[in-house]
């Protein structure tokens, strides 16, 4: 046999007989020495890859051939390539921070999940410096404020007017933000207790495809991740027009020796004040405190402890009718009832334990507690129901929220197939005292109570996720979740007034993921989700039709055709079953009917040169009631077209900044589209001068000073001197041109 043929046969045999080799280790931040979640690990030259979990760990098995080197990359960090010979299992891999660049991004994801790096890129490049910007990091998510700052934002996404959170699940470090059976509205999600500068990452997914996410996950979920450690201390002061001021401090509490032991402890606190741009001064005050500790309590167990406290108080101009502005009785920024406003507070405690077993599997246990207070005065109809005292209402509650999340994660290999199993349980207990809807005058005078009682709501859930990575290109994720609700209501206004109801729902999910290359990924997601209804509806309906289901599908792709361009697009469909919604403004359940929505999401990120970052998100949704007659089947306030984007100039030292836009198209304000909520196009501008020890900044909102309506509603109202009510658009004005200066010192 010729020598050349012998050599070829020997080479083929060597490759086919190459034994499986497992690569496992942990990736750490060089500055904080804490684990890096989401770092991409690639075996070269085969381009086999995975990403690190929340422990910073990875476990990658190779049986395809000889590994020459291992590549480690993470957004905002230098890329490291180490040789096969120098790699040692379980020896930490350290990455140093560097300027973020789209060119270093690899299109990859955990098996069974679509790529989610866009939010990480946006935070690193654009930054987050106010509470509203946190949610705007999610592509295609729009928000609006209709009480001037203190109240939770109105959320629009995927053809949903989610109100304050009814159809989107929002969490912060795994703690639920949404409040069930809340005095103002179901799913109310007030995020003002989060200090924006503490946010490290925003994990999100549109649609009900994650078995670990339960209630309110119809249009999707958002999970905010706070920083585990600080790179440096900072003090920041801000001041601007409309008597706007803010002070922030963030401080490390442990020294460098503690960092070497993978320990971190910091605190952050802010105070903000503003009178706002309305004719009636807002007198908005907000105080926040947050602290977080990370550390090992044993070789196998890592602990994360955090606590926060928040208090806010404000006056509000509320919603005003078009005719009052048109006839000159008030200005575009005026108020009908100048005594509107509110006060709210929330304190949280959160403990997470991650324990790694000898086989690499790990347990996660989380315990959390929130104490919450809410007191809101609003007037939507003015003098429609009470021509003497007016229609002002008070919505008030005191709440204790307890919860537990636990999960077990295990990875196994069957030949070349990798199987990841996640089994989880969760328990959430809400106890609300004296949940109140009352008729008031001038904010302090109680006229009569409409609803008044105690609410107890328990959600117990279990789920299982199985992800099968068939080969390096194709994976399947299948999961199922079951939720059991127990609802109790004690009505203080009625004798013999204890009511109860129980209900359960099963939510299956399945996803297919095809990872063509490090620049192309395709996915198909199918799943069922739900949102619960207010306990006061549940007991009236005796547990029937109180967990309306959402059935959804996504077909999407992520493509990086060239090294500095990233494109993500998805076609989607969502069907929402019959639901009953509790109207917290008049204390009644309101059936809304079945709906169908279809749409397209499109996102692009482009870096023409290393210092320029361009982003744009364009979203379209077509939604209709499925059982109503044509022409009377529009979904009120459902967004149709929306887009956000901007251009950012980033320089490590020196000038940097961004010019951004947000556009919301006209949309129907009622079922027959006889009233239209007018869209808007608004631009904001940020300019900073950054040095190693300090940063000076200028922020200008609404730079062209356009008049725009931030939120709009079809409301039947009657003014004091009117004899007949009028059905028309009522709105809250968007901000005027508003500028503020900031100074931040790093040390």
Per-residue pLDDT tens digits for 652-698: 788 999 999 999 999 999 999 999 999 999 999 999 999 999 999 99
pLDDT for position 662: 95
Out of 115-129, 283-297, 638-652, which region has the weakest mean confidence (pLDDT)? 115-129
Q: Is 148:210 a contact under the CB 8 Å cutoff?
A: no
Q: Per the omega criterion (within 30 degrees of 0), is the bond before 480 cis? A: no
Residue 505's pLDDT band, with cuts at 50, 70 and 90, is very high
**112 occurs within a structural domain:** no
pLDDT for position 111: 52
Q: Is the pLDDT of residue 356 over 80?
A: yes
Residue 7's pLDDT band, with cuts at 50, 70 and 90, is very low
pLDDT digits (tens, 9 = 90+) for 26-58: 999 888 888 888 888 888 888 777 888 888 888
344 with 492, same domain?
yes
Among the candidates 34, 64, 98, a domain finishes at: 98
Q: Is the pLDDT of residue 12 over 60?
A: no
432 with 576, same domain?
yes
Residue 117's pLDDT band, with cuts at 50, 70 and 90, is low
Q: Is the pLDDT of residue 360 over 60?
A: yes
90 with 180, same domain?
no
193 with 321, same domain?
yes
**3 occurs within a structural domain:** no
91 with 193, same domain?
no
What is the count of structural domains for the chain? Answer: 2
Q: For position 59, which CATH number holds?
A: 2.60.40.1120
pLDDT for position 19: 54
pLDDT digits (tens, 9 = 90+) for 443-482: 989 999 999 999 999 999 999 999 998 887 899 999 999 9
pLDDT for position 1: 46
Angstrom CA distances, 12 to 8, 44, 64, 466, stand at 6, 19, 12, 35
Rounding to the nearest 10 degrees, give the CA dihedral for residues 427, 433, 438, 443.
Answer: -110
Boundaries of domain holding 286: 118-746
pLDDT for position 3: 53
pLDDT for position 716: 95
Q: Is the pLDDT of residue 13 over 50?
A: no
pLDDT for position 632: 94
pTM for the model: 0.92
Out of 18-22, 478-482, 642-646, which region has the weakest mean confidence (pLDDT)? 18-22
Q: Is the pLDDT of residue 641 over 90?
A: yes
77 with 123, same domain?
no
Among the candidates 46, 70, 98, a domain finishes at: 98
- The answer for residues whose C-beta is within 8 angstroms of residue 445's C-beta and 6 or more apart is none
pLDDT digits (tens, 9 = 90+) for 529-573: 999 999 998 888 887 878 999 999 999 999 999 989 999 999 999
* Rg from Cα positions in the chain: 27
**392 occurs within a structural domain:** yes
Residue from 455, 461, 392, 367 nearest 423 by CA: 461
Residue 65's pLDDT band, with cuts at 50, 70 and 90, is low
Mean of pLDDT over the chain: 89
pLDDT for position 163: 86
pLDDT for position 238: 97
- The answer for residues whose C-beta is within 8 angstroms of residue 126's C-beta and 6 or more apart is 133, 137, 613, 615, 646, 648, 658, 660
**77 occurs within a structural domain:** yes
Q: Is the pLDDT of residue 131 over 50?
A: yes
**272 occurs within a structural domain:** yes
Quote the distance between the C-alpha of residue 649 and its chain's center.
25
Average pLDDT over residues 496-509: 93
**589 occurs within a structural domain:** yes
pLDDT for position 14: 39
pLDDT for position 115: 59
Q: Is the pLDDT of residue 89 over 90?
A: no
């Amino acid at each position: 046999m010729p020598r050349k043929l012998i050599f070829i046969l020997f080479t083929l045999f060597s490759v086919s007989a190459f034994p499986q080799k497992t690569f496992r280790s942990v990736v750490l931040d060089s500055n904080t020495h804490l684990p890096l979640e989401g770092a991409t690990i690639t075996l070269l030259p085969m381009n086999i890859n995975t990403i690190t979990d929340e422990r910073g760990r990875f476990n990658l098995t190779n049986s395809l051939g000889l590994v020459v080197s291992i590549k480690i990359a993470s957004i905002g960090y230098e890329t490291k390539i180490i040789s096969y010979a120098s790699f040692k299992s379980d020896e930490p891999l350290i990455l140093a921070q560097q300027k973020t660049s789209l060119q270093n991004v690899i299109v990859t994801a955990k098996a069974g999940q679509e790529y989610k790096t866009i939010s990480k890129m946006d935070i690193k490049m654009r930054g987050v410096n106010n509470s509203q910007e946190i949610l705007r990091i999610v592509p295609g998510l729009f928000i609006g404020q209709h009480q001037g700052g203190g109240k939770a934002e109105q959320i629009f996404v995927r053809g949903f007017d989610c109100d304050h959170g009814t159809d989107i699940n929002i969490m912060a470090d795994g703690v639920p933000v949404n409040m069930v059976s809340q005095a103002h509205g179901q799913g109310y999600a007030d995020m003002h207790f989060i200090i924006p500068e503490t946010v490290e990452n925003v994990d999100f997914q549109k649609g009900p495809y994650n078995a670990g996410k339960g209630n309110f996950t119809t249009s999707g979920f958002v999970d905010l991740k706070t920083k585990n450690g600080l790179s440096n201390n900072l003090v920041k002061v801000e001041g601007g027009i409309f008597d706007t001021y803010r002070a922030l401090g963030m401080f490390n509490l442990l020294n460098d020796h503690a960092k070497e032991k993978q320990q971190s402890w910091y605190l952050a606190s802010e105070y903000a004040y503003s009178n706002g741009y309305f004719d009636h001064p807002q007198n908005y005050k907000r105080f926040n405190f947050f602290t977080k500790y990370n550390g090992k309590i044993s070789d196998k167990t890592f602990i994360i402890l955090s606590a926060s406290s928040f208090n806010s108080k404000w006056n509000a101009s509320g919603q005003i009718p078009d005719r009052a502005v048109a006839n000159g009785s008030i200005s575009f920024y005026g108020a009908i009832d100048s005594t509107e406003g509110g006060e709210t507070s929330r304190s949280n405690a959160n403990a997470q334990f991650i324990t790694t077993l000898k086989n690499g599997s790990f347990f996660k246990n989380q315990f959390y507690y929130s104490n919450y207070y809410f007191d809101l005065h609003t007037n939507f109809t003015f003098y429609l129901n009470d021509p003497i005292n007016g229609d002002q209402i008070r919505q008030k509650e005191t709440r204790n929220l307890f919860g537990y999340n636990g999960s077990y994660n295990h990875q196994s290999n069957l030949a070349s197939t990798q199987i990841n199993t996640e089994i989880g349980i969760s328990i959430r207990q809400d106890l609300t005292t004296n949940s109140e809807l009352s008729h008031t005058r001038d904010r302090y005078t109680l006229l009569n109570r409409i609803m008044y009682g105690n609410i107890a709501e328990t959600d117990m859930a279990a789920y299982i996720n199985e992800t099968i990575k068939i080969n390096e290109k194709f994976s399947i994720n299948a999961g199922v979740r079951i939720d059991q609700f127990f609802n109790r209501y004690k009505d203080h206004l009625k004798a013999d007034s204890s009511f109860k109801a129980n209900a359960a729902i099963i939510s299956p999910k399945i996803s297919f993921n095809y990872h063509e290359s490090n620049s192309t990924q395709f996915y198909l997601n199918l799943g069922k989700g739900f949102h619960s209804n207010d306990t006061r509806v549940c007991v009236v309906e005796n547990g029937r039709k109180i967990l309306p289901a959402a059935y959804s599908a996504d077909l999407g792709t992520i493509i990086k055709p060239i090294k500095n361009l990233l494109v993500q697009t998805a076609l989607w469909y969502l069907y929402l079953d019959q639901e009953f919604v509790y109207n917290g403004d008049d204390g009644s359940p309101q059936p809304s009917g079945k709906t169908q929505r279809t749409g397209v999401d499109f996102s692009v990120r482009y870096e023409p040169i290393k210092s320029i970052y361009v982003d744009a998100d364009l979203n379209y949704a077509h939604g209709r009631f499925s059982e109503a007659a044509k022409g009377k089947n529009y979904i009120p306030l459902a967004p149709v077209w929306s887009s956000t984007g901007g251009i950012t100039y980033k320089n490590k030292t020196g000038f940097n900044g961004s010019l951004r836009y947000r556009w919301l198209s006209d949309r129907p304000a009622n079922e027959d589209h006889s009233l239209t909520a007018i869209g808007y196009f608004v631009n904001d501008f940020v300019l900073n001068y950054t040095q190693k020890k300090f940063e000076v900044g200028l922020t200008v909102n609404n730079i062209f000073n356009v008049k725009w309506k931030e939120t709009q509603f079809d409301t039947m109202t009657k003014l004091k001197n009117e004899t007949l009510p009028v059905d028309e658009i009522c709105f809250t004005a968007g901000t005027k041109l508003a500028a503020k200066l900031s100074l931040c010192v790093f040390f």
